[in-house]
Amino acid sequence: MASAQAWSELSAAASKMKATHLRTLLQDQARNDYMYVKCGGMTLDYCREKVDVDTMGKLFSLAEKAGVDTKKQKMFAGERINETEGRPVLHVALRAPRSAVINVDGKNVVPEVWQVLDAMKEFSDKVRSGERVGYTGKPLKDVVCIGIGGSYLGVEFVFEALKTDPAAAAAAEGRRLRFLANVDPIDVKRALDGLSAETTLVVIISKTFTTAETMLNAKTVKEWLIKELGTEACIPKHVVACSTALDKTKAFGIDPANVFGFWDWVGGRFSCWSAVGVLALSLQYGFGVVQQFLEGAHVMDEHFRTAPPTENLPLIMGLLAVWNCSVLGYEGIAVLPYCQALVRFVPHIQQLDMESNGKRVQMDGTVVPVGTGAIYFGEPGTNGQHSFYQLMHQGRAIPAEFIGFAHSQNPVELPGEPVSNHDELMSNFFAQPDALALGKTADELKAEGVPEKLVPHKTFTGDRPSLSLLLPVCNASWLGQLLALYEHRTAVQGWVWGINSFDQWGVELGKVLAKEVRSYLSTARKGPANDSKFISPTKMLLKKYLE
């Protein structure tokens, strides 16, 4: 982590910025121009953040003193930067071109990545063409993916985002893809509703094939297949896996040829580029569409690796997140995509950032001296405007990240309407950041003739920070760039704080305690059980639950 002096300099800058309204900052055109940054067809405008050029200089200096560039180069070089687990962090290898060389312990891992990619292309092509069929000879038109957390959220985001992309939608015609994540049996019912076992292919996603929720759901769906098709012999035809536990997948009844592996240097929340996401998305949209997604991510990887600091989008966004969270003291960030196709983007970013950066200690085990991580939430515009924007405008100040596209996946223009449907949407995309930044003063309201008693209620203080990202269109390539941007933005924050953004020990304790509850419930359902391990409030709730 950077020195105390670097943080002290930022604290001094924060005092100045807190005392300077965004109305004033936005009057400096040279500053505004400096904060308008392009990366190919993607544009970042961060002039509505509570920073000036001098503050950005201090943030770039902070990144330098924290060794962000060195840590980035180590990541791309395959070094074991996930120190607590002794692993490299190489999701960038998953979207590297076939000719790339990325070594781990002296061995180039890219050929192995492409070996799995080629196998998934071959398998998905055969399923989609009807060459590979189910147990009764019918084509496999429906896919159910069973996985949770990182084995689900990113894949579902991409699936939803491509649903209405014209090219992807045409490729997916006649096919269905569903997800089964929650161990709640209601999720099983919803995932299987309306499906025929004869045409259903099940993809089980679990690296170790031991994830409790995933394996219980997998066993439940396996029983459904056997019941519907009349024999356990159907399993090799209807179930495949993304896993490294070949002994366990074989015991489950899965053909070893239909197990697609990935590596321990692939973190769950960074894994949609691996078999975890590529297999399901290729079955739905075809490998060609998925390859565009991977290639888009690689474009952003190269931008992040090589662009200078003042033009480096992931670096800038990561530093602004640190500034807002650790220096200005904001505890939340609203991610606001003005595109309904990104309906599942924010849940994935919640996991990506909050699981990565929700840490209290640095890599060396010492407590981080500043606040880390933020609470991420959001909803596609304009839906969010009729939900939580009230709080953002006149309640708590929450930094916002607006995401928009110049062109719609589904252009609509009605005769007699002043603008197209997409322009109506984007009118709000452009208006909301200004409303948050500039607000509306009491004097302005009085000049408009607003009754005196309503002036306090209609006053907007403004001075609420945001940034805007504008992309050309929501297709596979640009989605790859967008997600890779947010992945690298997440890593930058962790490197500045000196934490490990690539482990997740915080998810373990609840799992351990759940095992104890599970054991107790198993016994209690059959007769008397010992509840002495639980605190008294938990005993009371368990007793009520078992009535």
Residue 222 belongs to what H/E stretch?
helix 212-229
What pLDDT does 539 receive? 96
Question: Which region holds residue 536: left if phi is over 0, alpha if psi is between -120 and 50, else beta?
Answer: alpha
Cβ atoms of 70 and 2 closer than 8 Å? no
Cβ atoms of 206 and 188 closer than 8 Å? no
What pLDDT does 495 receive? 98
Cβ atoms of 95 and 485 closer than 8 Å? no
How much is the CA Rg of the chain, to the nearest whole Å?
25
CA atoms within 13 A on the CB side of 391: 11
Question: Which region holds residue 253: left if phi is over 0, alpha if psi is between -120 and 50, else beta?
Answer: left
DSSP state of 484: H
What span, in angstroms and rounded, lies between the C-alpha atoms of 143 and 527? 40
**N- to C-terminal Cα separation, the chain:** 53
Residue 142 belongs to what H/E stretch?
strand 142-146
Burial class (CB in 10 A: 0-12, 13-18, 19+), 27: exposed
Residue positions annotated with a catalytic role: 355, 386, 511
What pLDDT does 3 receive? 74
* Angle in degrees, CA 494, 33, 461, rounded to 5: 75
Residue type for 121, please?
Answer: K
What span, in angstroms and rounded, lies between the C-alpha atoms of 454 and 445? 9
* Angle in degrees, CA 173, 420, 35, rounded to 5: 100
Local structure of 12: helix, strand or coil = helix
Taking Cα atoms as reference points, which of 442, 423, 421 lies closest to residue 431?
A: 423
| Residue entry with tokens 């590297």 | 96
Burial class (CB in 10 A: 0-12, 13-18, 19+), 460: middle
CB proximity list for 465: less than 8 A, separation 6 or greater: 22, 48, 49, 50, 324, 328, 330, 397, 399, 400, 436, 437
Q: How many residues does the chain have?
A: 547
Two tokens at 505?
């020990």
Two tokens at 344?
């599942």
What pLDDT does 129 receive? 98
Q: Are strands 103-104 and 200-205 parallel, antiparallel or unpaired?
A: unpaired
Q: Helix and strand tally (H, E) in the chain?
A: 23, 13
**Sheet with 176-180, edge to edge strand ranges:** 176-180, 142-146, 200-205, 239-242, 259-260
Fold category of 92-292 in CATH: Rossmann fold (3.40.50)
- Would you give per-residue pLDDT tens digits along the chain (547 residues)? 667 888 999 999 999 999 999 999 999 999 999 999 999 999 999 999 999 999 999 999 999 999 999 999 999 999 999 999 999 999 999 999 999 999 999 999 999 999 999 999 999 999 999 999 999 999 999 999 999 999 999 999 999 999 999 999 999 999 999 999 999 999 999 999 999 999 999 999 999 999 999 999 999 999 999 999 999 999 999 999 999 999 999 999 999 999 999 999 999 999 999 999 999 999 999 999 999 999 999 999 999 999 999 999 999 999 999 999 999 999 999 999 999 999 999 999 999 999 999 999 999 999 999 999 999 999 999 999 999 999 999 999 999 999 999 999 999 999 999 999 999 999 999 999 999 999 999 999 999 999 999 999 999 999 999 999 999 999 999 999 999 999 999 999 999 999 999 999 998 899 899 999 999 999 999 999 999 999 999 999 999 999 9
Q: Which parts of 139-211 fold into alpha helices (H)? A: 153-162, 166-171, 185-192
Residue 497 belongs to what H/E stretch?
helix 476-497
What pLDDT does 6 receive? 87
Cβ atoms of 395 and 351 closer than 8 Å? no
Two tokens at 399?
């930094």
| Domain 1-77+307-497, architecture per CATH | 3-Layer(aba) Sandwich (3.40)
Would you give the distance in Å from CA 58 to the centre of its chain? 29
Residue type for 123, please?
Answer: F
What span, in angstroms and rounded, lies between the C-alpha atoms of 227 and 242? 24
What span, in angstroms and rounded, lies between the C-alpha atoms of 59 and 7? 9
What span, in angstroms and rounded, lies between the C-alpha atoms of 444 and 157? 42
